Amino acid sequence: MANHVKMTPEKEAQFCKVVEESGNVSKAARIIGMSRGYMYQYAAQPENKAFADAWQEADDTFVDLDEEELARRARGWNEERIDPKTGDVHSIRKYSDVCLIFRMKSKRPQIYNRELYKQNNVLLTTSSDSDVKLDGEAVNQALREMAIVKAKSESKDSKIN
Contact indicator for 95, 76 with CB cutoff of 8 Å: yes
Same domain, 45 and 15: yes
Burial class (CB in 10 A: 0-12, 13-18, 19+), 19: buried
Characterise 33 by phi-psi region: left (phi > 0), alpha (psi -120 to 50), beta (else). Answer: left
Same domain, 64 and 84: no
Same domain, 36 and 50: yes
Domain boundaries, position 90? 76-112
Domain count, the chain: 3
Beta bridge partners of 80: 91
Residues 101-156: tens digit of each pLDDT = 888 887 777 777 766 556 555 544 444 444 445 556 666 666 677 777 777 766 66
Same domain, 34 and 87: no
3 within domain boundaries: no
Q: What pLDDT is stored for residue 100 in this prediction?
A: 84
32 within domain boundaries: yes
Same domain, 89 and 56: no
105 within domain boundaries: yes
51 within domain boundaries: yes
Same domain, 136 and 103: no
Contact indicator for 133, 117 with CB cutoff of 8 Å: no
Same domain, 18 and 55: yes
Q: What pLDDT is stored for residue 2 in this prediction?
A: 47
Q: What is the pTM of this model?
A: 0.56
Same domain, 66 and 86: no
2 within domain boundaries: no
4 within domain boundaries: no
Q: What pLDDT is stored for residue 121 in this prediction?
A: 57
Rg over CA atoms, the chain: 26
Same domain, 62 and 21: yes
Q: Which of 153, 152, 149 is nearest to 141 (CA)?
A: 149
117 within domain boundaries: no
Residues 25-63: tens digit of each pLDDT = 999 999 999 999 999 999 999 999 999 999 999 999 999
Query: Once rounded to an integer, what is the mean pLDDT over residues 12-20?
Result: 97
Same domain, 126 and 105: no
Residue 82 has pLDDT above 60, yes or no: yes
Q: What pLDDT is stored for residue 125 in this prediction?
A: 43
Same domain, 25 and 45: yes
Q: What pLDDT is stored for residue 142 in this prediction?
A: 67
